[in-house]
Amino acid sequence: MYGIVNKAIEELVLSNFGEEKWELIKKRGDLELDFFISNQPYDDAITYQLAKAVSEEMNIPLGEVFTAFGEWWILKTGKEKYGGLMQSGGSSLKEFLINLPAFHNRVLLIYPKLTPPEFKISHIEENSIQVHYFSKREGLQQFVRGLLQGLGKMYQVNTVIELLESREEGSSHEVFKVSW
Amino acid sequence: MNTSGFIFDKEQFNRLFPFYILVNKNMIIESYGHSLEKIYPGCSGKKFLDHFILSRPEYISPEFAQLQSLGSQVIILRTNQSIQRVLRGQIEYLLNEEQILFIGSPWFDSIEEVTDSKLGLHDFAYHDPMIDLLHLLKTQEIANSDLKHLVETVNKQRTELKLLSKIAEDNINSVIIANEKGEINWVNKSFTKVTGYQLEEVIGKKPGSFLQGPGTDQKTISYVRKQIQSGESFYAEMLNYKKDKKPYWVRIQGQSIRNKHNELTGFFALEEDITEQKETAEKIADTERRFRLALEKIGDYVWEHDFRTGKTIFSKSENEFLGYTTSELTNNQKLWWENVSKEDTHLLEENDLKYRNREIDSHNLEYRVIHKNGIIKWVLDRGVVIEKDELGNPLRVTGTHTDITHIKQTEEELAQRVRQFQSLSENIPGVIYEFEFREDGTDGFRYISPAIETIFNIKPADFAQYINYIHPHDRARIIEKNEYCKKTLQPFYDESRLIYTGQGLKWIAIHSSFSYIEKNGSKVFTGFLMDITERKNAEEALRTNEEKYRSIIANMNLGLLELDINEDITFANQSFCDMRSTV
For residue A83, list chain B residues with Cβ-Cβ distance below 8 A.
112
Question: For chain A, how many structural domains are there in total?
Answer: 2
Taking the Cβ of residue B114 and every Cβ of chain A, the question of whether any pair is shorter than 8 Å is answered with yes
Q: Is residue A83 part of a domain?
A: no
- At a CB cut-off of 8 Å and minimum separation 6, what does B389 contact? B395
pLDDT digits (tens, 9 = 90+) for B84-101: 999 999 999 998 889 999
Looking at per-residue pLDDT, the higher value among B3 and B477 belongs to B477
A173 and A123 within one domain: yes
- Which run of H or E residues covers position A77? none
Residue B556 confidence (pLDDT) above 80: no
| pTM attached to this predicted model | 0.50
Where in chain B are all domains bearing CATH 3.30.450.20? 171-273, 283-409, 428-531
pLDDT of residue B492: 93
- At a CB cut-off of 8 Å and minimum separation 6, what does B193 contact? none
The whole domain housing A153 covers 90-179
pLDDT of residue B332: 60
pLDDT of residue A151: 93
Chain B segment 281-340 residues within 8 A of A by beta carbon are: none
User: pLDDT band for position B330 (50/70/90)?
Assistant: low
- Is the confidence metric ipTM above 0.85 for this complex? no
pLDDT digits (tens, 9 = 90+) for A112-165: 777 778 899 999 999 999 999 998 888 888 989 999 999 999 999 999 999 999
Residues of A with CB under 8 A from a CB of B: 3-4, 7, 30, 32, 34-40, 81-85, 87-91, 95, 98-99, 102-103, 105-107, 109-111
Cis peptide leading into B57, omega within 30 of 0?
A: yes
DSSP assignment string, B84-98: --EEEEEEEEETTTT
For residue A107, list chain B residues with Cβ-Cβ distance below 8 A.
135
User: Cβ contact (<8 Å) for B143 and A109?
Assistant: no
Q: Is residue A105 part of a domain?
A: yes
pLDDT of residue B362: 94
Residue B299 confidence (pLDDT) above 70: no
A11 near A52, Cβ under 8 Å? Answer: no
Q: For residues B28 and B51, what is the distance between their CA atoms, to the nearest angstrom?
A: 10
CA distance to partner chain A, nearest, from residue B143 (Å): 6
pLDDT of residue B583: 44
User: Cβ contact (<8 Å) for B139 and A38?
Assistant: yes
Residue B102 confidence (pLDDT) above 90: yes
Looking at per-residue pLDDT, the higher value among B382 and A31 belongs to B382
User: Cβ contact (<8 Å) for A85 and B153?
Assistant: no
B482 near B492, Cβ under 8 Å? Answer: yes
Q: Is residue A73 part of a domain?
A: no
pLDDT of residue A5: 81
Residue ending a domain, among A11, A40, A60, is A60
pLDDT of residue B328: 47
pLDDT digits (tens, 9 = 90+) for B453-493: 888 888 888 888 888 899 999 999 999 999 999 999 999 99
**Partner residues linked to B32 by β-bridges:** B21
Residue B494 confidence (pLDDT) above 90: yes
Taking the Cβ of residue B147 and every Cβ of chain A, the question of whether any pair is shorter than 8 Å is answered with yes
Where in chain B are all domains bearing CATH 3.30.450.260? 2-128
Q: Is residue A81 part of a domain?
A: no
Q: Is residue A20 part of a domain?
A: yes
A166 and A98 within one domain: yes
> For B209-235, what is the mean pLDDT?
89
Domain B428-531 CATH (choose: 3.30.43.10, 3.30.465.10, 3.40.50.620, 3.30.450.20): 3.30.450.20
CATH of the domain at A163: 3.90.1520.10
> For B488-501, what is the mean pLDDT?
90
User: Cβ contact (<8 Å) for A110 and B136?
Assistant: yes
Minimum mean pLDDT range among A100-114, A142-156, B148-162, B524-538? A100-114
User: Cβ contact (<8 Å) for B121 and A7?
Assistant: no
Q: Is residue A115 part of a domain?
A: yes
pLDDT of residue B286: 84
| Fold type of domain B171-273 | Beta-Lactamase (3.30.450)
Angle between helices A44-58 and A3-17 (to 10 degrees): 10
A5: helix, coil or strand?
Answer: helix
Residue B30: φ, ψ to 5°: -80, -45
CA distance to partner chain B, nearest, from residue A168 (Å): 33
Averaged confidence pLDDT in chain B:
87
Q: Which residues of B115-149 are buried (b: 16+ CB within 10 A; e: fewer)?
A: bebebbbbbbbeebbbbeebbeebbeebbeebeee
User: Cβ contact (<8 Å) for B122 and A82?
Assistant: no
pLDDT digits (tens, 9 = 90+) for B172-193: 889 999 998 889 999 988 899 9
DSSP B179: E
Chain B segment 241-260 residues within 8 A of A by beta carbon are: 260
The CATH number assigned to the domain with range B283-409 reads 3.30.450.20
A105 and A172 within one domain: yes
CATH superfamily of B2-128: Haem NO binding associated domain (3.30.450.260)
For residue B110, list chain A residues with Cβ-Cβ distance below 8 A.
84
- The residue of chain B nearest to residue A91, with distances taken between CA atoms, is B120
